[in-house]
Amino acid sequence: MTENRIRELRRSHNMSQEALGTIINTTQQAVSKMEKDTCAISTDLLISMARYFNVTTDYILGLSDIKR
């Protein structure tokens, strides 16, 4: 579920993995792994993404279908 939400949000803002990585202070490779759900998302990165995309952390994690 997480992979779809991060990718969905990133693509809806027409941004590359590299651009998102720069915004949330991580690498393109880390964004790719988060989208594929092959690594845990740190709390700091999760909060940064939620703030940038103006959604809840629960939405990103797939725990809720309500963005805000």
Cut 0.75: pTM above it: yes
What's the pLDDT tens digit per position in 9-20? 999 999 999 999
**64/24 Cα distance (integer angstroms):** 22
Per-residue pLDDT of 7-53, as tens digits, reads: 999 999 999 999 999 999 999 999 999 999 898 999 999 999 999 99
Alpha helix locations (H) across 13-56?
17-23, 28-36, 43-53
Q: So what's the architecture of 5-57 in CATH?
A: Orthogonal Bundle (1.10)
User: For residues 54 and 49, what is the distance between their CA atoms, to the nearest angstrom?
Assistant: 8
Please answer whether residues 55 and 9 qualify as being in contact, where contact means their C-beta atoms are separated by less than 8 angstroms. yes
Cβ-contact 10, 17 below 8 angstroms: yes
